[in-house]
Structure formats: C-alpha cells, structure tokens
Amino acid sequence: MLAPTIADPQYNIAFLKASRLFSGAADELVCGSQHLFVQRTYAKGSVIFEQGDSACLVYSVCRGKVRIARRTEDDKQITVSILGPGDLFGEEVVFEAVTRPSTVTCLDTTTVWMARASDLLGLLSRYPVLSLNLARYLREQLDDARCATEDVAYLNVGDRLTRLLERLAAEHSRPVEDGTLLDVRQTRAEIASLIGSTRETVSVRIAGLVRAGRIALRGKQIVLLHQT
C-alpha cells in the first residue's frame, strides 16, 4: 500500500459539506468543526484498515470508492458493500471500543476524511442535527442489510442479481448512449458474495442477461441497456 498523503486543507470544508454526516448542517457548524478532520488520499488497491485492527478513527469518502469486506470463519472474504462519496465507514467505534469488523479497500484512487471517534462523539452530543444524520445513515445501512438478507432468503439467483445491478445503478453509475454504465468494477466472485451465490452461477446468469439484451459487457464493466 502506498503511504497516504494529506490533501490541501482548503478542500476540507467542501468535502465535509458533501458528507452524509453534515447533511443540512449550517455552514458555521461545518467551518467550526473542520479542524477536527484530516483528509488523506490513498492509491487504488490500498487497504485503509483490516478486519481485527484496533480502531479509533471514523471515515467518510470524499471521492473514489471503497469496498467493505468481511472474512468468514472458513477464510472466505465476503463483500458487504461498495461505498462512494458522502458515505461513512468505521462508525462502529463512535459509541464503544471495538476492533474493526471488516476490511476496507480502495477501488479507485480515493480521498477520505477522518476524525477521532472521541472528537466525533463530542460533536454528536452538542449538535442534534449531526446525531440525527448519523442515526438515519445507520438506519439505512440496517435496512440495506435486511433487504439483502430477504433477497437471499426469498429470491432466486437471477432475481437477486437483477436487484443488485439495479442497486448499483442507483448508487454508482453514469448514463451512456445505450443505457446506464455501472461505474464500479466487480469480479464475478465479488458479485457472487454480494448476492449469496457462486462465481460459476453468477457467470451463467450474466451470460443469460447478455443474450437477453438486458445488459452489455464493456471490458470489466456492465451496462444496463435501455429496454424498448
């Protein structure tokens, strides 16, 4: 992993304003809090922290994307989620001292801000808008996890794959002439871990979607095609 570099402080306030934590917060609050946060940029492929590490920092993605993954008891790495600009991670340390439950890897050159959990807890205790934002974010994370669990329990692999592609399109995509390009590169194994399947089954299902004209493959990326 390349050593992180500290970004120009003048951009810190703009990135904080874009974070889910400071959504709707007054400019005065953001400006008055920015000294508690540090920006760092990591190279693609860098590991920000690993499962089992001791922890005292909370992070938010400024630009780029990170993969949240957990290693199971049988030593398989399962992708839990893909996070992009504005999303928080590492928030599990705000309210109690814990070791990291997951590994966070940069999918692109990624800039994050970070703050000590103790400093962030102080802000939450003084400013209800920040506490509410964090509570909403945690609720959304729980809802996403519940939906993913229900998908695995009740949907077949094809439908789970379609749901995942739609979710990625809503969160990490850009329009192209013939559809929506998923702006994240996922291996078949990573997709399989997100929907509770196997790499081989996912490969078969993706090939079926290509033949049906629902998606197209552009290198390692997927395009959800316009349907007529």
Residue 132: which pLDDT band, with cuts at 50, 70 and 90?
Answer: very high
Give percent of the chain with pLDDT exceeding 90. Answer: 47
| Residue 62, pLDDT above cutoff 50 | yes
pTM over 0.85: no
The pLDDT of residue 10 is 55
| 87-114 confidence digits (pLDDT tens) | 999 998 998 888 998 899 998 899 999 9
Range of the domain at 179: 156-225
**Final residue in a domain of this structure, among 118, 152, 186:** 152
Residues 115 and 143 in one domain: yes
In the prediction, which pLDDT does 1 show? 43
Q: Are 226 and 179 in contact (CB under 8 A)?
A: yes
Domain termination site, one of 112, 132, 152: 152
> What's 112's domain CATH number?
2.60.120.10
Contact (Cβ atoms closer than 8 angstroms) between residue 201 and residue 157 = yes
Please check whether residues 100 and 204 belong to one and the same domain: no
Q: Name residue 67's beta-bridge partners.
A: 82, 105
pLDDT at 4 over 50: no
- Pair (165, 143) in one structural domain: no
Domain count, the chain: 2
Boundary of a domain, candidates 152, 187, 211:
152
